[in-house]
Amino acid sequence: MPLNDVRPEYPYRARQQGIEGHIKLAFTINPQGRVENIRVLEASPRNVFDREARRAAARWRFAPRTENGVAVSREAVKTLHFRLQGER
């Protein structure tokens, strides 16, 4: 669970066209709790939510993971859902 869970902006064109979907991101959480190496594993529809999802993920912050008292990097995966609630 992120310490700082920044929500992505809904892409303007997708909102105007009533497009909903999801995107699954994989990323590395570095020893300082910052997100690096963001990759799109799955997106539906493709290339609609990628930019905003990546922007939000780059601003997330996590508590560092420690092993034997030393902060270490770790891999994580998160799915973001883009829904137009009550906007149709």
18-71, pLDDT tens digit by residue?
Answer: 999 999 999 999 999 999 999 999 999 999 999 999 999 999 999 989 999 999
Task: List Cα–Cα distances, 17 to 42, 48, 70, in angstroms.
Answer: 21, 11, 48
pLDDT reading at 73 higher than 80: yes
CA distance 77 to 24: 7
The predicted pLDDT at position 20 comes to 97
Domain boundaries in the chain?
A: 12-82
Tokens (6 digits) for 8: 């992505």
The domain 12-82 belongs to what CATH superfamily? TonB (3.30.2420.10)
The predicted pLDDT at position 5 comes to 86
The predicted pLDDT at position 88 comes to 39
Whole-prediction pTM: 0.89
21-60 residues labelled b (16+ CB within 10 A) or e (exposed): eebebebebbeebebeebeeeebeeeebbeebbbebbeeb
> Which phi and psi (to 5°) does residue 15 adopt?
-65, -45
The predicted pLDDT at position 50 comes to 98
CA distance 87 to 45: 19
